[in-house]
C-alpha cells in the first residue's frame, strides 16, 4: 500500500525526466496521472516527452495534455536549457502511447474525484497554469487536494540586487498567485536546492554505467545547458520536489509567508515569489536544505531498479 496518491504536473524537460523516474520508482508514491503543461517547451513537445518517458521508464501511467499558454501572459520557452526537443541529446523513438482522453485541468479533476477517500498530493514541477485553471473551473477541487509540492521560486531575495527570476514562476506568476490564495497546504522547493543538488560530470558517468536508462540520462545531460550551476554539473531541480515526497526526512524546512511580487528590469516585468520567514501568519513550508549525499544515494537506488 503506497502512502501518497500523487498527480504530477510538469513540463518535461530533462530535470522533469529525472524527477518522474524517481517518483515512479519510489516505494511510497503512487503516481496516478502525469499532467503536462507548456513551459520548457510547447505543450505539443512536453506531452510527447512525457509519453516517451513513461515508455522509457516502463510504467503504465496516463499522460494528459494541459495548458498551451499561461493564464494571462505570452509563453516564454526554455529550450535553450533543455535542448530543442526538451530531452537533451537522447534520441527517443516516437511514442506509441496516446495521451489520456481528457485534457488538464479536466484530467486532474477526474483523478481527484477518483480518489476522494484518500486525498491527493499535487507534485508541480512546471508552471502552475493547469492548477490555476483547475481551481477556476472546479472550485471544489481545493477540498480534494491534501497539499501541493511545488518546485519553483527562490527562497532568497538575492540581497539588495534583484529577485531571482526562476522559470516556473516567471512563466506564469498569475497562476502561482491564484494557487497561493486558495490556501491549499503548500510546500515550496526553491531554486537554491538545485544549486547544491547537482550531478557532477564524474557522477554523470556513474549514471551512464548503471544501465540503459542511465545511458539515456547521460545523453540528456549532455545537452542540458543549465546555467544555474554551469560546468559544475547538471542541477536536478525537479527531483528535489519529487524526493521531498518520497523522502521528506532528508530535507530541512521552515515556515514562511509566500506571496507573488513583480519586478521590472530593462522594461521587462517578471513575477517572483517573496518568502517572508519572519511572518506571524506563514502559509507554506519552504525547503531550505537537503542532505545531498542521501539525495544522490536515493536516486542511484531508483535508477538501479532498471538493472
* Residues labelled as active-site residues: 237
Stretch that binds ligand RIB, among 13-21, 135-143, 195-203, 281-289 (CB under 6 A): 13-21
Query: Who's near 233: CB < 8 A, 6+ residues apart?
Result: 198, 199, 200, 201, 203, 204
| 111 Rama sector, left if φ>0, alpha if ψ -120 to 50, beta otherwise | alpha
In angstroms, what is the minimal distance from the CB of 216 to Ca ion?
18
Nearer to Ca ion, 88 or 126 (CB): 126
Q: Identify the residue among 83, 126, 163, 214 touching ligand RIB (CB under 6 A).
A: 126
145-151 and 4-10 beta bridge pairing: unpaired
Q: Is 13 in the site for Ca ion (CB under 5 A)?
A: yes
Interface segment toward Ca ion; rule CB under 5 A; list 12-20, 111-119, 265-273, 296-304: 12-20
Q: Coil, strand, or helix at residue 67?
A: coil
Q: Is 6 exposed, middle or buried (0-12, 13-18, 19+ CB in 10 A)?
A: buried
Which of residues 144 and 244 has its CB atom nearest to ligand RIB in the complex?
244
In this structure, what DSSP letter does residue 267 have? T
Q: Does 39 bind ligand RIB (CB under 6 A)?
A: yes
Residue whose CB is nearest to ligand RIB in the complex, by number:
167
Site string for ligand RIB, 133-152 (x = CB under 6 A): ------------------x-
Question: What is the size of the binding site for ligand RIB (CB under 6 A)?
Answer: 16
Which one of ligand RIB, Ca ion, none interacts with residue 167, CB within 5 to 8 A by kind?
ligand RIB
Q: What are phi and psi of 43, to 5 degrees?
A: -65, -35
Query: Which of 120, 260, 138 lies closest to 188 in space, CA to CA?
Result: 260
- Give the list of residues 6+ apart from residue 72 with CB closer than 8 angstroms, or none: 172, 174
Choose the stretch contacting ligand RIB; rule: CB under 6 A; options: 8-16, 182-190, 198-206, 211-219: 8-16
Does the footprint of ligand RIB cover residue 192 (CB under 6 A)? no
Determine if 173 is a binding residue for ligand RIB (CB under 6 A). no
Nearest approach in angstroms of CB 285 to ligand RIB is 19
Cβ atoms of 156 and 119 within 8 Å: the answer is no
Is 125 an interacting residue with respect to Ca ion (CB under 5 A)?
yes
d(CA 238, CA 15): 6
| SS3 at position 31 | strand
Binding site for ligand RIB (CB under 6 A): 11, 13, 15-16, 39-40, 78, 125-126, 151, 166-168, 191, 237-238
Binding site for Ca ion (CB under 5 A): 11, 13, 16, 125-126, 238
Amino acid at each position: 500500500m503506497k502512502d501518497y496518491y500523487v498527480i504530477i504536473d510538469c513540463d518535461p524537460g530533462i530535470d522533469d525526466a529525472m524527477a518522474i523516474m524517481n517518483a515512479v520508482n519510489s516505494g511510497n508514491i503512487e503516481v496516478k496521472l502525469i499532467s503536462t503543461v507548456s513551459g520548457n517547451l510547447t505543450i505539443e513537445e512536453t506531452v510527447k516527452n512525457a509519453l516517451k518517458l513513461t515508455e522509457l521508464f516502463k510504467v503504465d501511467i496516463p499522460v494528459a495534455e494541459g495548458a498551451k499558454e499561461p493564464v494571462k501572459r505570452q509563453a516564454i520557452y526554455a529550450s535553450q536549457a533543455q535542448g530543442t526537443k526538451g530531452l537533451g541529446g537522447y534520441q527517443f523513438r516516437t511514442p506509441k502511447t496516446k495521451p489520456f482522453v481528457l485534457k488538464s485541468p479536466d484530467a486532474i479533476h477526474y483523478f481527484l474525484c477518483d480518489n476522494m477517500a484518500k486525498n491527493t498530493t499535487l507534485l508541480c514541477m512546471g508552471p502552475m497554469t493547469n492548477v490555476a485553471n483547475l481551481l477556476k473551473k472546479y472550485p471544489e477541487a481545493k477540498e480534494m487536494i491534501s497539499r501541493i509540492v511545488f518546485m519553483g521560486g527562490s527562497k532568497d531575495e538575492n540581497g539588495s540586487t534583484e529577485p531571482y527570476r526562476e522559470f516556473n514562476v516567471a512563466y506564469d506568476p498569475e497562476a502561482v498567485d491564484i494557487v497561493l490564495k486558495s490556501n491549499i497546504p503548500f510546500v515550496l522547493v526553491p531554486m537554491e536546492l538545485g544549486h547544491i543538488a547537482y550531478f557532477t560530470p564524474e557522477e554523470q558517468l556513474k549514471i551512464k554505467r548503471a544501465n540503459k536508462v542511465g545511458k539515456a540520462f547521460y545523453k540528456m545531460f549532455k545537452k542540458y545547458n543549465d546555467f544555474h550551476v554551469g560546468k559544475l554539473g547538471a542541477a536536478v531541480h525537479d527531483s528535489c520536489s519529487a524526493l521531498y515526497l518520497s523522502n521528506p526526512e532528508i530535507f530541512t524546512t521552515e515556515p514562511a509567508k509566500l506571496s507573488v511580487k513583480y519586478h521590472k528590469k530593462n522594461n521587462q516585468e517578471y513575477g517572483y515569489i517573496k518568502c517572508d520567514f519572519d511572518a506571524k501568519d506563514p502559509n507554506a513550508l519552504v525547503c531550505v536544505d537537503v542532505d545531498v549525499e542521501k539525495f544522490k544515494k536515493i536516486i542511484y537506488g531508483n535508477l538501479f531498479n532498471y538493472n
